Amino acid sequence: FSNITNVDDMKIREELDRAEQNLANDAAFALTLFNNILEKSPLSPRAFYGKARSLDALAERKKSNKLLDEAIIAYHQVLKLNDVPDALFQMVAERCINRARFRGVYNQAVPVHKLLIGRFPKNVHFQNELAVTYLTMNNFYEAKKVLYDILSKWPLNGFAMVNYGFILKLYDLDLKQAVKYLKRGIETKDRGVIDGRFFYHLGDALLRLGRKDEAMAVHIDGVNNKVFLSKYQRSLHNVNRLLGKPWWKKEDIPNTQFFVKLEQNWKVIRDEGLQLLNTDGLFKTETEDLREVGDWKQFELYARGIKNVKNCRECPKTCRLIESFPDAVGCKRGQIKFSVVQPGTHVWPHCGPTNCRLRSHLGLKVPSNVFIRVANEIRSWEEGKLLIFDDSFEHEIWHNGSSTRLILIVDFWHPQLTKEEKRTLSSV
Ligand code: LMR
Ligand code: MN
């Protein structure tokens, strides 16, 4: 412990070590011992550190957020003491950031990042980590500033490059510049750059720029780097063993009866959907930047396995029908919604987030000249008929017709998932 023990702590070293020995087995007792030391030596970095670790260990054992908050504050206080050895400073700061992130209190991590960077200004890793925290907070503006600074000093840092490119793509919508940074960043093969998000958005930016061959090369590179399941199936939240194929038939799914019932009752669903369309403001515009041009709106009934009670009241018959299918209403990785697309719309090729759901489309109002491509096959909707596909595969939509297209989208768990997986998989 010599490199975490300053001159004054050296004098009470035995006492500190004794308290520390209790940490693993009896964190409560260790806390008492560290508090005793602090009464005599209130500025001891190691005693304060020991107190923080005791609180941290107790928080973990008791699963207590209150204790965790106290631990985060205690770690932070250590950093403000005088004469904290470098090794201790780094350890405490990194643990404090780790716990603040775990707790979801990112704004408490930020000042700790800044202290760490102030102390070790030549360590680019600590600066990249601040950018990561800002990104997790969806604070693209601050993340971009940090990354810009890093790249002005370390222009070849791969981790900063991919994250900077990621922001240019998603926040600035500057596809060309995004491609440049994502591509160069990935090419460094630095730690952290081989990540599906960077491959996905590089490929996507290239597709939108019309550079299809380059996009395909990135997708294949992604498969070789094991970040994609296949060149067409580029979802990032996957259970790897699941059968993946672009198109499904209702007969492929154990609960075929549900889909038969949906088709039999399509007119009831259509009438409710059309009724909703008459009321302004019910349908919400797609906000994920998936359209090249046009108008695409949705009315959500279920999302991530949670019912939108208010919206369901507006179409009770549709909701009652769907509620007979637990794999749909309980699908924490899916949605159930009416989806309306107007003439002149093009939805860019894209992949859903997960291979754990399949997506069914019930045609309700289908003019001619509307198309959906999934992987390499183009089909069309039909009124009263279902299309079932795996939206983790690349898909693209065109409306070249002359009147509104309305469908009901029902996502449901992939039939090969176990009960346990459906219960425990995180929401997407
Ligand atoms: C999609 O799920 O991406 C689209 O198919 C939705 C739609 O309304 O066509
Ligand atoms: Mn989609």
Contact 405, 365 (CB under 8 A): yes
The pLDDT, as a whole number, for residue 88 is 97
**Which long-range contacts link 186-193 to residues 24+ away (Cβ below 8 Å)?**
186/158, 186/162, 186/221, 187/158, 188/156, 188/157, 188/158, 188/161, 189/158, 190/157, 190/158, 190/159, 191/159, 192/158, 192/159, 192/162, 193/158, 193/159, 193/161, 193/162
The type of residue at 364 is: L
Given the CA of residue 290, which atom of ligand 1 is nearest to it?
A: 3
Ligand number with the minimum distance to the CA of 352: 2
Instruction: Find tokens 């769907």 and name the residue.
Output: 322
Mutate to test the pocket of ligand 1, among 286, 290, 361, 405 (most ligand atoms within 8 A of CB): 361
CA distance 106 to 111: 10
Give me the pLDDT at residue 2, please.
Answer: 65
- End-to-end distance of the chain based on CA atoms, in angstroms? 44
Residue nearest atom 7 of ligand 1, based on CA coordinates: 339
Structure confidence at residue 194 (pLDDT): 98
Contact criterion met (CB below 8 Å) for 66 and 103: no
Q: What is the pLDDT of residue 162?
A: 98
| Residues framing ligand 1 (Cβ under 6 A) | 339, 341, 347, 372, 391, 395, 397, 407
Given this model, what pLDDT does residue 394 score? 98
**Residue 301 confidence (pLDDT):** 98
The atom number, within ligand 1, closest to the CA of 391 reads 2
In this structure, the residue with its CA closest to atom 2 of ligand 1 is 391
Tell me, in angstroms, the distance from the centre of ligand 2 to residue 225's CA.
24
Q: 369: number of CA atoms within 13 Å, CB side? A: 11
Give the model confidence (pLDDT) of 12-47 as tens digits. Answer: 999 999 999 999 999 999 999 999 999 999 999 999
Amino acid at 26: D
Instruction: Give the nearest ligand 1 atom to 339 CA.
Output: 8
Which residue positions in the chain have pLDDT lower than 70? 1-2
Atom of ligand 1 nearest to the CA of 405: 8
Q: Which ligand is nearest to the CA of 388?
A: 1
The span from the CA of 16 to the CA of 182, in Å, is: 48
Residue whose CA is closest, atom 9 of ligand 1? Answer: 397
